[in-house]
Amino acid sequence: MFRTGIRRCGALARVATSSTKLLSARAAFPASFSGAASVSRSVAPLKSFAQFNRLYSADAAVAEEKTPENAAVGEITAFRDLEAIGVHRNLLDAITQDMRYESMTPVQAKTINPALKGTDIVAQAKTGTGKTIAFLLPLLQRMIEEDPTLATRKAARSARSDDIRGIVLSPTRELAEQIATEAKRLCRRTGLVVQSAVGGTQKSAMLRQTQRQGCHLLVATPGRLNDLLEDPNSGIDAPKLAALVLDEADRMLDVGFEKELNAIQSYLPKDKVRQTMLVSATIPDNVIQLARKMVRPHDFEFVQTIPEHDTLTHDRIPQHVVTVSSWANVFPSLFELVDREVAAAKEDPSLPPFKAIVYFNTTSMVELAGELGYQRRQSGQLRIPTFAIQSQLSQFQRTKAADMFRNSRTGILFSSDVTARGMDFPNVTHVIQVDAPRERESYIHRLGRTGRQDKGGEGWLFVPPMSANSARKLLRGLPLKPNKTLESAEVDLNAVEELPAYHEETKNLIQALPRKLMAGAYTSLFGGQLTDREQLVEDLNDWAVKGWGWPEPPAVSHSWARNQGLLNAGLNIQDGHSERMHRDERRGDRFGGDRRGDRRGGGRFERRASQDPFAEMGRRARRDGPPQQRSRGGRRGGSGGFESSW
Ligand SMILES: Nc1ncnc2c1ncn2[C@@H]1O[C@H](COP(=O)(O)OP(=O)(O)OP(=O)(O)O)[C@@H](O)[C@H]1O
């Protein structure tokens, strides 16, 4: 009976999904970004850089917008027109001829213009809207302006590793590599040499290459950059540094890079004016703290591209929330959704091929999902490629998986938060998040892996009951809509005589997996934000016994249970089973970041007493939360919001 139900429901769901997808497909491959494209027109060349500078000081821009003469300047949206105000042709040719971008996106138009005059910048724009070029172009232009010889190819021959002119910092290795690739494309027609320096790779090999080829722009993770700068024998130095960028600035403090950032600051030249840019789609309070520390208080602009009452997510991306009644239903529901969407895309050639990222909060769950995906492919149940990325893999494995997924037309990437920020995988149609994310920002950035460049896509969130309250609080005000089209989501394993098809399949696959892997996944789930941990024990025990077919739940040690405050909660406590769990406990980044656990706070950055130039920025930053603040202020939330409808 249940199987029939699945089939019927599946058909209905296909109809629903198809219509969603048709809408998405229409937005799927636009000629260029909306907004930027719609206002693109030819602009009369500006007479001088000074005129440009004057018009684009932030306050002046607002005031001057009204006059017809200045309105023309405010409308520069074509890259080509930047040549008239001094941007080097070799940079612009790379954009317009090699990359074939003609119009700036709104964040590019709003950021590039003020950034070109050297003002420090804090910029906020939604995910996938072109922030990378928004900071790279002015950064490279500034380097050329300070040393015009860098504009032509022959400058590359005399590049040195101790004369770095620009630094971009990224919180994750994959993102640093991606930014370096984009920067190399922009520099192709110039003499600017770009290098990357990330953890997990051989420092000595990177140093040899940098010493041999030289470096003008270094894209790095903070840990590795600090390591290079503090090593007197590295040969890496930046005495004439023109500009420093912190991409995904808010994440830097989240993953505990505060110490490194302080140290890096201390190695940078003090006797030279440097431009600093902080960029992110989310600007929580810690970015304001970072700005206080890194940005020149009286020469900075806050570039805000998100209208006041807008959400930080894209309206065109539907966000579905599926309440699974037990952890036992998570993988069956996931498989049901994947099969349904793969089939829908195959049936309808107007739809883009199914390409999904599935996010989990812990590395062990990514490992488990990766194995299940692999087994499904082996057994012929799934006919698209699957990949997995989490921080415990070697950097080589991580890079390889990211590259393969990037180049795949279709496929599934199981991932921790290491790919949640900035990663630009083309044509991702679905972002599926399992369990309540640790932070609201995480949810927003993960979702931002789809719907990039104005394309379509959809978001799914699977929430087990024990995380439901924290998910609701965390995501209040976002336009999540309950979705009940997945039959596997509400199965009660205690009430069925025969396991439904997707549950049966999952159980068979799990039985072939190493017990250590399953036990690791089990214990890792106790790390999240849970409202009822004892209920979680009960639910996971049920999953282990009925869903995996184990005679009893995985064993945990007495000390682990005590540390979790769960000595009398029904865990299978046995001595001698502690190793795996203690290892998990010790793993600093089991939640998927590139660094240690959450160390929010950044207490070192002191508040200014009065006349605070950053206070205005704090007011204008679009938080879209945090929830408690929003509810106090009676902000949006409105109809269709997660809170009211779920
Ligand atoms: N002017 C443009 N026209 C068309 N495409 C562009 C333009 N600028 C950038 N892109 C492309 O848009 C995609 C998204 O850009 P990018 O990765 O810089 O977004 P982002 O805002 O930094 O996203 P995130 O917030 O996720 O870091 C990239 O593939 C990029 O090459």
Tokens encoding 241: 């540094």
Rounded CA gap, 329 and 413, in Å?
20
Compute CA 33 distance to the chain's CA centroid, rounded to the nearest angstrom.
20
Kindly give the number of the ligand 1 atom that is closest to the alpha carbon of 79: 1
Q: Ligand 1 within 6 A of 528 CB?
A: no
What pLDDT score was predicted for residue 62? 35
For 150, 152, 158, 466, 640, the CA distances from 187, given in Å and listed in that order, are: 10, 10, 16, 50, 46
Q: Ligand 1 within 6 A of 419 CB?
A: no
Domain with CATH 3.40.50.300 in the chain: 106-310+599-646, 313-586
Kindly give the number of the ligand 1 atom that is closest to the alpha carbon of 453: 12
Contact at 8 Å (CB) between 486 and 336? Answer: yes
- Three-state secondary-structure class, residue 388: strand
Q: Ligand 1 within 6 A of 133 CB?
A: yes
The chain-wide mean pLDDT, for the chain, equals: 82
Instruction: Provide the angle, in degrees to the nearest 10, between the axes of the packed helices 285-294 and 258-267.
Output: 20
pLDDT at 613 over 90: no
Contact at 8 Å (CB) between 454 and 33? Answer: yes
Contact at 8 Å (CB) between 119 and 142? Answer: no
Kindly give the number of the ligand 1 atom that is closest to the alpha carbon of 127: 25
Please compute the mean of the pLDDT values over residues 397-416 and round it to a whole number.
Answer: 97
Span 106-310+599-646 CATH architecture: 3-Layer(aba) Sandwich (3.40)
pLDDT at 26 over 60: no
φ and ψ of 306, to 5 deg: -105, 120
Q: Ligand 1 within 6 A of 124 CB?
A: no
The one-letter amino acid at 358: V
Contact at 8 Å (CB) between 249 and 280? Answer: yes
Q: Ligand 1 within 6 A of 131 CB?
A: yes
What are the tens digits of pLDDT across the range 455-483? 999 999 999 998 999 899 999 999 999 99
Contact at 8 Å (CB) between 543 and 328? Answer: yes
pLDDT above 90: percentage of residues in the chain: 67
Q: Detail the DSSP E strand segments found in 271-344.
A: 275-280, 300-304, 319-323
For 42, 66, 110, 112, 137, the CA distances from 72, given in Å and listed in that order, are: 9, 10, 14, 16, 21
Q: Ligand 1 within 6 A of 190 CB?
A: no
ipTM: 0.99
- 14 CB neighbour count, 10 Å cutoff: 18
50 CA distance to ligand 1 middle (Å): 29
What single DSSP character describes residue 354?
Answer: P
What pLDDT score was predicted for residue 532? 80
In terms of Cα–Cα distance, which of 120, 106, 144, 82 is closest to 245? 120
Contact at 8 Å (CB) between 416 and 591? Answer: yes
Q: Ligand 1 within 6 A of 462 CB?
A: no
Q: Count the alpha carbons within 13 Å of 439 in the hemisphere toward its beta carbon.
A: 22
Contacts of 15 (CB under 8 A, 6+ apart): none
What pLDDT score was predicted for residue 25? 34
pLDDT at 620 over 90: no
Please compute the mean of the pLDDT values over residues 90-105 and round it to a whole number.
Answer: 97
Q: Is the pTM of this model over 0.95?
A: no
Rounded CA gap, 449 and 128, in Å?
7
CA 347, 350, 354 angle in degrees (round to 5)? 65
Which of the residue ranges 257-261, 267-271, 550-554, 572-576 would you say has the lowest mean pLDDT?
Answer: 572-576
Q: Ligand 1 within 6 A of 32 CB?
A: yes
- Look at ligand 1, atom 10, and give the residue with the nearest C-alpha: 130
Please compute the mean of the pLDDT values over residues 420-445 and round it to a whole number.
Answer: 95
Rounded CA gap, 133 and 151, in Å?
18
What single DSSP character describes residue 44?
Answer: P
Provide the pLDDT confidence category of residue 358 given band limits of 50, 70 and 90: very high
Identify the CATH number of the domain defined by range 313-586.
Answer: 3.40.50.300
454 CA distance to ligand 1 middle (Å): 10
Please compute the mean of the pLDDT values over residues 141-155 and round it to a whole number.
Answer: 95
Q: CA torsion 361→367→368→370, rounded to 10°?
A: 110
In terms of Cα–Cα distance, which of 430, 431, 350, 339 is closest to 383? 339
426 CA distance to ligand 1 middle (Å): 10
- Whose tokens are 């520390």? That residue is 293
- Look at ligand 1, atom 1, and give the residue with the nearest C-alpha: 104
Q: Ligand 1 within 6 A of 430 CB?
A: no
What pLDDT score was predicted for residue 5? 33
What are the tens digits of pLDDT across the range 225-243? 999 999 999 999 999 999 9
φ and ψ of 461, to 5 deg: -125, 125
Q: Before 239, cis peptide (omega within 30)? A: no
Mutate to test the pocket of ligand 1, among 80, 81, 100, 132 (most ligand atoms within 8 A of CB): 132
Rounded CA gap, 499 and 505, in Å?
9
Annotate 460-527 with three-state secondary structure: EEEECHHHHHHHHHHCCCCCEEECCCCHHHHCCCCCCCCCCHHHHHHHHHHHCCCHHHHHHHHHHHHH
For 48, 164, 195, the CA distances from 157, given in Å and listed in that order, are: 32, 14, 15
pLDDT at 555 over 60: yes
What pLDDT score was predicted for residue 30? 35
